């Protein structure tokens, strides 16, 4: 039921008399503001605003949370604020659609931050029962302006009082780039959130293993896997950080297979690429490729071991001072060597053609944080060519993908897709595998599955 803005008047039955309006507006108990406590992210968000302020002296900075997006007709998708807004305010989940953070330059130096919000429509307001987007009757109790100020430490004002602002005059693109580059190195709050997201994700993978018999029995077993993980993500966090890839058999050779409509068959592999987004909106991103029946076949293990060797090579070079792209190059050196030994890489006219990339077209790593592909708007020279620093969090995820119709691949390999993906934190002298609790080696995965299946 949703009468958003009364757009669907054909089915609206709410009485319109003044007597009804007077009656529904009254006879409600008095309630105080929630006055919630300061959120854990607040001091970190304040430091981020200060660092952003130093980059843009004398310039007004405007960062919207974003608005609700229509899913169909008069129903909306669940709201998630923009990454930049969350980073600068510390606010997550779904309380503040339409909000805008404005940082006004002070005389001299620095900025004053104000959070402009849509006040909740409470008893006494017509919107209380008439506004499906902000009325308490429809969406439940929301924090008010005083509550948001207590939570964030940022001054708040009603959105209606937002001054007329010419967004075109603001350095929006420059701000987004600056924020992407600021997010390369995570603070201690962010690292803990990512640890929590990874731990919840590993628990979700274990739930999936327990549901494999049901997936095998179902006509769309991939959906069973997806639903198991996605349900876990809603129970333990905010949602999934991206659409779950539950790719069984040859579907695993499609890099972003999110239809998840296929059957799950004994003897095939399942590539599960999934991540829990916790309520602070930080997400994990982990992939494991495991045998449905609990045991890799010889050819499956042959491919798996090469992917694992490539991942281990990437781990071996990852440490402060190394270029981000060097992680990828280390993994690719293994892939090229092994595929060449198998005799499937044709001789190239140009050595730079890298023909072996036919079977692994994606990059080995990407930064991770509030976005699954975090820091994506940063300059290339600071991303791919940038040096690793303590506090960075990223993935290591090589793979090999031999599609069913790939006549350049040996027949025994066709239909096999394998990816191994871990989330790693750069430390002072190397990296920590945040997802190390989830087995990586083929033997360990078989033992893990046997244990979970009893």
Residues 442, 305: contact at Cβ < 8 Å? Answer: yes
Judge whether residue 307 has pLDDT over 50: yes
pLDDT, residue 7, reads 53
**Residue 139: which pLDDT band, with cuts at 50, 70 and 90?**
confident
Lowest mean pLDDT, pick from 117-126, 218-227, 438-447: 117-126
Range 186-193, long-range pairs (CB < 8 A, 24+ positions):
186/369, 186/391, 186/392, 186/393, 186/425, 187/44, 187/47, 187/391, 189/40, 189/41, 189/44, 190/44, 190/282, 190/369, 190/393, 191/391, 191/393, 191/425, 193/278, 193/280, 193/282
- Domains of the chain with CATH codes: 4-182 (3.40.350), 188-452 (3.90.230.10)
Q: What share of the chain is helix, strand, coil (3-state, %, to 5)?
A: 40, 15, 45
Q: What's the confidence (pLDDT) of residue 1?
A: 41
Residues of the chain above pLDDT 70, percent: 96
Round to whole Å and give the CA distance between 300 and 416.
7
Q: Over the range 25-39, which residues count as b (16 or more CB within 10 Å of their CB) and which as e?
A: eeeeeeeeeeeeeeb
| pLDDT value of residue 298 | 98
Which residues contact residue 26 at a Cβ distance below 8 angstroms, ignoring those fewer than 6 apart? 124
Q: Is the pLDDT of residue 129 over 50?
A: yes
Q: How confident is the model at residue 170 (pLDDT cuts 50, 70, 90)?
A: low
Q: How many residues does the chain have?
A: 454
* Pairing between β-strand 393-396 and β-strand 399-402 as defined by DSSP bridges: unpaired
Q: Quick one: average pLDDT of 148-158?
A: 96
Q: 426: how many CB neighbours lie within 10 A of its CB?
A: 22
CA–CA distance, 292 with 261 (Å, rounded to integer): 16
Q: Cβ distance 196 to 248 under 8 Å?
A: no
Top pLDDT among 23 and 398 is at 398
| Residue-wise pLDDT tens digits, 68-80 | 999 998 889 999 9
């Amino acid at each position: 039921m949703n009468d958003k803005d009364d757009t669907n008047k054909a089915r609206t039955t709410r009485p319109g008399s003044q007597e009804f309006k007077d009656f529904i507006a009254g006879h409600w108990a008095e309630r105080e503001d929630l006055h919630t406590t300061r959120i854990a992210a607040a001091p970190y968000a304040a430091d981020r605003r200060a660092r952003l302020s130093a980059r843009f002296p004398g310039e007004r900075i405007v960062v919207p949370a974003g608005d609700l997006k229509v899913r169909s007709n008069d129903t909306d998708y669940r709201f998630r604020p923009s990454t930049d807004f969350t980073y600068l305010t510390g606010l997550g989940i779904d309380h503040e659609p339409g909000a805008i953070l404005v940082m006004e330059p002070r005389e001299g130096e620095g900025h004053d931050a104000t959070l402009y919000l849509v006040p909740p429509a409470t008893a006494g307001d017509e919107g209380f029962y008439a506004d499906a987007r902000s009325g308490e009757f429809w969406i439940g109790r929301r924090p008010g302006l005083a509550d948001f100020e207590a939570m964030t430490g940022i001054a708040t004002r009603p959105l209606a009082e937002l001054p007329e602002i010419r967004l075109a005059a603001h350095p929006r693109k420059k701000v987004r780039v600056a924020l992407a580059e600021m997010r390369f190195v995570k603070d201690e709050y962010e690292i803990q959130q990512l640890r929590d997201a990874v731990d919840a994700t590993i628990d979700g993978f274990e739930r999936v293993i327990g549901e494999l018999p049901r997936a095998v029995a179902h006509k769309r077993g991939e959906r069973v896997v997806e639903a198991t993980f996605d349900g876990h993500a809603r129970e333990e966090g905010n949602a999934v950080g991206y659409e779950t890839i539950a790719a069984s058999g040859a579907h695993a050779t499609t890099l972003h297979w999110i239809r998840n409509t296929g059957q799950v068959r004994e003897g095939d592999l399942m590539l599960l690429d999934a991540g829990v987004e916790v309520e602070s909106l930080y997400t994990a991103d982990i992939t494991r490729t495991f045998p449905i029946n609990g045991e890799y076949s010889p050819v499956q293990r042959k491919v798996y071991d090469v992917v694992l060797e490539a991942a281990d090579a990437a781990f071996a070079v990852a440490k402060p001072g190394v270029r981000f792209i060097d992680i990828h190059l280390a993994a690719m050196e293994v892939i090229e060597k092994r595929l060449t030994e198998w005799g499937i890489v044709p001789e190239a006219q140009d050595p730079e053609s890298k023909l072996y990339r036919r079977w692994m077209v994606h990059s080995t790593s990407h930064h991770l944080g509030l976005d699954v592909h975090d820091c994506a708007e940063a300059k290339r020279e600071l991303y791919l060519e940038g040096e690793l620093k303590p506090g960075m969090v990223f993935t290591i995820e090589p793979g090999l993908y031999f599609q069913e119709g790939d006549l350049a691949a040996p027949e025994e390999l066709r239909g096999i897709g394998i990816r191994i993906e871990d989330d790693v934190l750069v430390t002072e002298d190397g990296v920590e595998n945040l997802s190390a609790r989830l087995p990586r080696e083929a033997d360990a995965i078989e033992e893990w599955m046997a244990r979970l299946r009893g």
